[in-house]
Structure 1
Amino acid sequence: MIEITRARAEDFDSISKELLERGIEISDLENTMAIYDGKNLLGAAKYKREEITAFLEYMVVFEGGPFLDKLKDGLIKSLLNMADIEGVKIFLIQKDADEDFYKKIRFKELSDRDFVLSMDVDYSRYIYTKLPEFFEHACHSAKK
């Protein structure tokens, strides 16, 4: 059974090892969600926060086969939900190979924003979503 929850403290070593193999070094599991199939760790995602803005630090699904996109979808939405509960209003993701995946779930070009950020960011390098608006709409995979 698939479960997405805050990363368990006892899984720090295994998460750290999996991420280190992918060139990602971590120091803690704060603001981290993990996806499990029973006791098997399938992936993890983390954000860092600056006031009401959050930045995706990493999202990695370690295994998933044909269900990879569904696992990524569940993991990012769970992470966004956690950020929303914690009071984050704007969630930013640096553009990378998964940009199209994020745009499918309503992330937009930061250069097209209708708000001002209180920090210095290269707007051409990020996509964003406003969390209150993100959760007002049904999931893109919801049946009509």
Structure 2
Amino acid sequence: MSEKKKEPGVWDGFKAFLMRGNVVDLAVAVVIGAAFTNIVNSVVKGVINPLVGAFGTKDLNQYSSCLKDPCRFDEATGTTSGIPIMWGTVLSATLTFLITAAVVYFLMVLPMSKYLAKQVARQKAKEGTQEVIEVSELEVLKEIRDALVAQRGSGHNEQ
């Protein structure tokens, strides 16, 4: 009788996936990213939008254009007439994105890439000394090979 090999089940695969270290790291990054996004949103809404609004007449989120007149918002019914284009909200979201991207790049990505570049340079420096040894060993092995080929060649000629 042939034995059937038991295939790993879905549950086993899921457990292996969860036990990988990068899944936990990703979860931590998502939680910290969400908290950081709240901070950036607060800065944009509380500081940048009012500063931009100070140059105009209203808060940045309130800037809009009307595609089809009349653009009015009825607070009593909660309806809007016309077709408003809320470009201030888009500009606010764009500023939030740019600030978030700049902070992530300058405080996380750039220092990490510099650190990794230093690590690679150290590793290459260590490998550089090993390569000298490996190259000389390679040369010795080539010489041995050539000597064996020469011996084998001379042995065949004498027959």
TM-score, normalised via structure 1 length: 0.21
Higher CA-based Rg: 2
Please identify which structure carries the higher helix content.
2
What is the TM-score with the length of structure 2 in the denominator?
0.19
1 or 2 for the larger relative contact order (CA 8 Å, sep ≥6)? 1
Which structure shows the bigger proportion of residues in strand conformation?
1
